[in-house]
Structure 1
Amino acid sequence: MTMTPEQSAWFAQTFDRLAGNVGQAVLGKPTTVRLVLTCMLAEGHVLLEDAPGTGKTMLARAIAASVQGSHSRIQFTPDLLPSDVTGVTIYDQKTGAFDFHPGPVFASIVLADEINRASPKTQSSLLEVMEEGQVTVDGVPHTAGRPFMVIATQNPIEQAGTYRLPEAQLDRFLMKTSLGYPDRAAAVEILAGSAQKDRSAALAPIVTTQAVAEMADLAATVHVDPAVLDYVAGLAEATRNVPEARLGVSIRGALAMTRCIKVWAASQGRNYVLPDDVKQLALPVWAHRIVLDPEAEFTGTTTEGVLARVLADVPAPQERQTV
């Protein structure tokens, strides 16, 4: 069943209220806020590559507060163990049974701060819960619940003592984006409110976690014309044929784009997807999935440039495709 115009209007109104509420805590970054909310409603995860002190923790707290959800922050360090993330089973002598003590990953919004500072073994502890929404400890699965989103961060400058995320794990992040520094006007407003240490603490909830799950289900019913699906498939295939790329967009990446454009269209008040939605989301959804040849990188080729060329070369559909 396709989303009705009335449902798409309600979705867009609720989405705007959520973005506006989060924007009260994360000033001057409306586009990034909308991208992260899109990621949440597409039931994916986001990787933020930013310098310290740009508001990443504030963003996670603000989203959790806006949806009446729980929030946890995991500081990834070299000595962090997988059980510190997922939880551990402990034997209770009084009851004679094993009790599961959930780790910080069991929250609506999980901030994995500086994820590339932990060992690959600890990084991999997030793979199952990010992909399947559950954690298996001692053979027993434990559901993370809905909504569930991991906001992972990494510092693009300081790379000493870090472990680079492997391509397979990067591919599990629905989007990669950044907050960056605010403009002058937003910076002045932030400084004027310096007495308020945590802006997210004052936010009132807009919707419940149940409503967020319903919005995610509703977004999945947005109509995507076969011509747009063919466009997405053509773009993904084109990234795999670029001479400078060792690895292009996978099928998982194409599926990620399909999920994102549905939410993005609904946030604009439409119950159908346009080719322009694909173009607008190509960079945050696909740039981190493309692996360039080292020689191409040395000559100045970037994934952004590769995507721009692919978008220019692959023609967008001009009319609907009859089925």
Structure 2
Amino acid sequence: MIEFLEHKGDITAREIIAVQQPAYIKEAELIGFDGIPALQEKAKDIQASHEQFAGYRKDGKLIGVISYEINMHHLTICRLVVHPDGFRKGIGRALLQFVIDQNEDAEKIEVVTAEKNTPAVSLYTQAGFQKAETVKAAEGLLLSVFHLYPERKVEVVLYNEKWTECFDEEKERLKLVFGPEIIAVHHIGSTSIPNMAAKPIIDILIEVRSIEAVSQYDTLMKAIGYTPRGENGIAGRRYFQKGGNKRTHHVHMYEKGNPAIERHLLFRDYLRAHPEIAEEYAVLKKQLAAQHPDCINLYIQGKDDWIKTAEEHAKRWKEGRNNANGSVVCYNCENDENGGLTL
């Protein structure tokens, strides 16, 4: 059974040492290096640690321990040890998976092990970790740094009327952060479309006076739970996300006049004005989520052609509205002989 450990307690701290000491002695023999710092740890060092500990017990006896630290949405595994009595019984793999499952919002998981520690290297590789670099820690000791970037789960849920309230609440928080730098704040994306099934993430578009000034607010954004991502692949944008792999909010910031502002708002308004097309989009998203529940990239790719087509229809819809001098005009893809417009 795996459980979180109250490592501040003297008895638990001594249990942890009783597992880790023989485990690290075996590792020292395996890699030919007896200077592993953890070999010098005492119970008081465990008690003073700021790490989160979890342990594997069998018949009440602690035989495996894992610990980790979290900085924003980056998780670092500090130790993973199994008592020699528990070797080759899947205990290390179970502890590793426990930490991954308990931290679904982690965007990056890092672990370091000796390059010669082949059982550990195999464990992390089989769990999906990729080797990022090799570091020389001491004479005769090379360390392998491994990273895991967990895939976000794809979840499309029924429309929730509270999404509008969530947007309004977050809008006020963001106004307090950016103050007069803000020109306008818009609710965009699928959660802004009435009755639209969507991933439960509030997308927010903010028009600002100067895009270059946005970075000075990064610290304040971190204080309210956001991770700054810079342009994140889109020139002229500043992007922030909240909630790690269990996203709750995305903030897209553009300087006034950037054409991306109109594109996002037009797509939203087009779907709001055409419930039947919005429903078509919702059906597609549900199908893609069912097909690719563990791969957000394939889910996004599956929507790409539909979105591009809808954006072209939205432009023609807007042109029709303008040509009709403000009359209500809808784009009808089945009425192309009349320019696709129905008054």
> TM class, shorter-chain normalised?
under 0.3
Larger radius of gyration: 2
| Bigger relative contact order, structure 1 or 2 (CA pairs below 8 A, ≥6 apart) | 1
The structure with more strand, counted as a fraction of residues: 2
